[in-house]
Structure 1
């Protein structure tokens, strides 16, 4: 009987060892399964990021093509972007706006030689200025936002290139800013006319408690101004950064 019990103990010990081995194998399988799922998630995340990068590149190319087409219409009509009309004298940029314009990168034409010649007026105009910059300038210092026919044409071009969903809100915001006389106020501030800026903002429906005050006046790299509104709000606004909102490319940031 003792021998029988001894054999039973050996059997129990072997069974326990087998259970431990089975548990370890189960844990290993769980670990391998979790790692495989984690690797799969990482791969999916990486692919999603790559797809996003490719989509943004393609979208940027479509926006550049749309802007080129818009500017080509101006040049073909004999208009020079950045002016109030074809007869008006060129509008002189305020110092701050000139700096913004100088910092705007030009668009490099990467199309094949045959295609690049299709719209020569745009190619010639873009030797030193991008179509994005031309549109931004005309919104800031020209009459573009006061020309409903031209705004409708721009919307049609953006729709043609599949960009109206993104560009329509941008055009609406720029139009609202123009109605509030914000570009005019920026121009006056950058020329040092704070009282004129406050007065023209009031005409546009924006009431300030005091004249705007420039922050860090000795810092030429900054054009930050403090605005105190009649409702008690205070806001520091970088005019250079705000001006870039009038450039079509701002929708891609």
Structure 2
């Protein structure tokens, strides 16, 4: 049976962030993920996890200047020092939170810049980061993100992501397969699951309804079918619930109760 993690950056917006841990636990979640922990001391987050019996399964490395529109630094030549400082900070949080996975955002490709230096910077940065993460048993994830929600994002397709894994060659580098982004960019979701899950290089899955990014029981994807397929293919990792609730989060969790 799939194991579901609550994404606290999107779920429970009716609560302050630090109160979302209790809300997720009350709804039966045993694991959480979110975008960034850096606004809070690690010990504050660790205490919330412990108080509510929750496991931290994923968060993102620093993305650069998020407010200014940056969405990662990994593909940007000339930003290597800032990228490395961010990975160092992220790994310190991962150690404190006992979190085994970090998502490293690729970044927005600068307009007019040739592809080759971006690809070279991306692969070199990931190789360095994977070596640092391996020292503490952390897996790094890269995630194709659709260009409608995030115009110009460097990594958008599953094949591109798996080609990056092959080029970098780090055992602790995997793909974060978000089925919402996958459906928008490529479609044919069940075929992609059959193609990539058996290879063992998908380290995390995320879900949302398409196209509104709401609960997975709403929209054009048949998640009951997809969850059964994910089970059939032997995936045992977490599935992050990264969607925007239509109303109060708890009231929209009927789909989850069916899968418990």
Q: TM-score range by the shorter chain?
A: under 0.3
Q: Which has the higher helix share?
A: 1
Normalising by structure 1, what TM-score? 0.26
Q: Which has the higher strand share?
A: 2
Normalising by structure 2, what TM-score? 0.26
Bigger CA radius of gyration: 1
